[in-house]
């Protein structure tokens, strides 16, 4: 009888240990994938800025916006989908350069939705303007990140943008 009780306790302990190992392994795998997806999203944000610097803001935004993407702009209602793309095609970006740098971002545990935020710079002929932005990103069925919402706020005055 004693051996039967000891065997039962041993099997329960073994079962609990196996459940703990499987659960921990699954969580570690998800964290690794989430970290990989987060870095891929941030890398896309950086590529988006580099594209803007090389080809202009208009082409960059048209390239990286999701078909249902939303632009939040001063003195406008939200500009959505085809209207956002139409709005972008009318922008004259020949007199300035727009670039930005993400400070950080986060990603959903599903790995297909996330956000970044950071500092943008508008370089005019003799003037540099800075502001803050946030982008919400979605991974499309092909596995590419596209932004679904873009918003910015003007003005950073004599502040360290890393704060």
- Determine the distance from the C-alpha atom of residue 65 to the mean position of all C-alpha atoms in its chain, rounded to a whole number: 12
Q: Are strands 145-154 and 65-72 parallel, antiparallel or unpaired?
A: parallel
* Domains observed in the chain: 2-154 (3.10.450.50)
DSSP, res 156: -
Q: pLDDT tens digits, residue range 66-80? A: 999 999 998 899 999
Token representation of residue 3: 């051996």
Structural contact between residues 105 and 39, judged by C-beta atoms closer than 8 angstroms: no
Angle at 162 between CA 159 and CA 163, to 5 degrees: 70
Share of the chain above pLDDT 90, in %: 70
When mean pLDDT is compared across 29-33, 47-51, 116-120, the lowest value belongs to 29-33
Where residue 140 falls among pLDDT bands split at 50, 70, 90?
very high
């Amino acid at each position: 009888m004693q051996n039967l009780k000891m065997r039962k306790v041993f099997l329960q302990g073994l079962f609990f240990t196996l459940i703990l190992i499987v659960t921990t392994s699954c969580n570690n795998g998800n964290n690794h994938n989430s970290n990989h997806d987060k870095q891929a999203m941030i890398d896309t944000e950086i590529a988006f800025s580099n594209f803007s610097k090389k080809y202009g803001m208009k082409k960059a935004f048209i390239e990286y916006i999701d078909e249902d993407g939303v632009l939040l702009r001063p003195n406008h209602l939200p500009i959505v989908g085809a209207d956002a793309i139409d709005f972008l095609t009318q922008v004259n970006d020949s007199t300035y350069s727009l670039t930005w740098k993400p400070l950080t971002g986060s990603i959903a545990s599903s790995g297909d939705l996330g956000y970044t935020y950071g500092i943008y710079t508008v370089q005019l002929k003799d003037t540099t303007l800075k502001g803050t932005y946030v982008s919400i990103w979605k991974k499309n069925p092909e596995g590419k990140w596209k932004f679904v919402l873009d918003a910015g706020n003007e003005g950073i005055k004599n502040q360290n943008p890393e704060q």
